[in-house]
Amino acid sequence: MLKLKILILAQLFCLGLQAEKPNFIIIFTDDQGYQDLGCFGSPNIQSPNLDRMAAEGIKMTSFYMGAPLCTPSRAALMTGSYPIRIDMAVGDGFAVLLDGDKKGLNPDEITIAEVLKTAGYKTGMVGKWHLGDQPEFLPTRQGFNEFFGLPYSYDISPYHQNNKKFDFSPLPLLDGETVIEKNPDCDHITKCLTERAVQFIEENKEEPFFLYLPHPAPHRPLYVSEEFRREAPEAVKAKLAQEEGYIDYKSRDKLYKYVINEIDWSVGQILESLKRCGIDDNTIVLFTSDNGPVAKTGCALPLRGNKGSFYEGGVRVPAIIRWPSKLQAGQVSDEIMTAMDILPTFAKIAGAEIPTDRVLDGKDILPVLLGEEKSPHEVIFYHQKNALKAARSGDWKLHVEGDSAVALYNLAEDISETKNVLEGNGDITEKLLQYIKAFKADIKANNRPAGWVDNPVTLIQK
């Protein structure tokens, strides 16, 4: 009888620990600029839900992606490693992965989803993957119990504006590993994904879960439902009504703020579902973007540069994190943090072990979020495809060409990178050059291969 009582008490204790584990949600947008939220200074974009999320959490003003493009930035988020370390800085013959690509995130990589699963988490992904469309590379093979969404950007379709250059297959919508729709109506994709994400939350509210919600928007071409484009200029709506068998990029480019409005609505739906399910206080929600904006649509001001650039506007992105039960509301942190930090930080919070058989570049930033410590990053590195182009340590950022310094900026005084102060700062320049030299040597000694298949096929035949 005594042994039985001890066993019951032990089980209750374990259940108590399980109940204390927080849920994790990452909301990831595509090509959204640093300024493109009200709380980040946009003069013409309304984002009441995200503004409220910032007021209830922490606005991170020096949050960096691992790269300025879709595929490598997502690889960095999933693995906690610089894309160049895992051979995911570029696609196979193109800057990012395309349909029927023989390259993808190596199945031997350990993703944030796989790490959290070891701690008893249910894992779900709803949205855009872009780390390989072959069966070996899909989210369901990379730690996610569920997947609903697109395998890559929705411009990788027969309606792409440069289709004379590309011969893309029809755009697939997947549920798990099954194609359930060909060329889905992308004007309603944000609503569709939001509904599925809310469903995942409601179905898993009794157990710890990790939800990854990478919206395909606001990547070009800009898609938005009729409800959110009602205030668009009549001439634009008239042009869009004439679309048939093609995409009017020029007209759709004028829809940017409405696309962000719909994303903001989606965030509101997620937060409301958490409250409705009674798990709001113990759920960590992170909102950020995969890289800087396209110059024709979004805005990275006051940063210089856009998507694809190693200037700040290419890799420094808007970021907000909210955890009502633990994080003090209304904070603004300018400490250097990166998307690669999410894996080790979430693992620490969940009580999961991070991989010890490989080099990870991310750091545990929970002490920073709690206001207990400064950034753990002595230096961070910027790449353009496979080329290391800059390094930042503290306020100083050095631009390089090969092994030579070409520009030095003090970001605390010159966030827009307009005043080259290389001359007269030899000690700082040399210190950063030594960081770069050591990092290149580390990558050479500690790198991992991408995944490859011999005979790739598209998910839908052309």
pLDDT in tens, the chain (462 residues): 433 433 343 343 344 434 589 999 999 999 999 999 999 999 999 999 999 999 999 999 999 999 999 999 999 999 999 999 999 999 998 999 999 999 999 999 999 999 999 999 999 999 999 999 999 999 999 999 999 999 999 999 988 776 677 889 999 999 999 999 999 999 999 999 999 999 999 999 999 999 999 999 999 999 999 999 999 999 999 999 999 888 999 999 999 999 999 999 999 999 999 999 999 999 999 999 999 999 999 999 999 999 999 999 999 999 999 999 999 999 999 999 999 999 999 999 999 999 999 999 999 999 999 999 999 999 999 999 999 999 999 999 999 999 999 999 999 999 999 999 999 999 999 999 999 999 999 999 999 999 999 999 999 988
pTM summary value: 0.94
pLDDT of residue 10: 36
Helix (H) or strand (E) holding 343: helix 342-350
pLDDT of residue 18: 44
Is the C-alpha dihedral spanning 73, 79, 80, 82 positive or negative?
A: negative
Kindly give, in sequence order, each residue whose CB lies less than 8 Å from that of residue 195, ignoring residues fewer than 6 positions away.
Answer: none
Nearest C-alpha neighbor of 94 from the set 160, 28, 175: 160
* Residue-range domains of the chain with CATH: 20-378 (3.40.720.10), 382-445 (3.30.1120.10)
DSSP 259: H
Q: Catalytic residue positions? A: 70, 130
pLDDT of residue 20: 82
Helix (H) or strand (E) holding 240: helix 234-241
Cβ–Cβ < 8 Å for 38, 48: yes
Is the C-alpha dihedral spanning 183, 188, 189, 195 positive or negative?
A: negative
Kindly give, in sequence order, each residue whose CB lies less than 8 Å from that of residue 28, ignoring residues fewer than 6 positions away.
Answer: 74, 77, 127, 212, 213, 214, 215, 288, 289, 290
Cβ-in-10-Å burial (0-12, 13-18, 19+) of 212 comes to: buried
Cα separation, 149 vs 129, in Å, equals 8
Q: Could you tell me where the DSSP H helices lie in 242-311?
A: 249-252, 256-276
Cβ–Cβ < 8 Å for 102, 456: yes
Cα separation, 127 vs 421, in Å, equals 43
Q: Beta 122-128 vs 404-410: how paired, if at all?
A: unpaired
pLDDT of residue 322: 98
Cα separation, 334 vs 61, in Å, equals 5
pLDDT of residue 162: 67
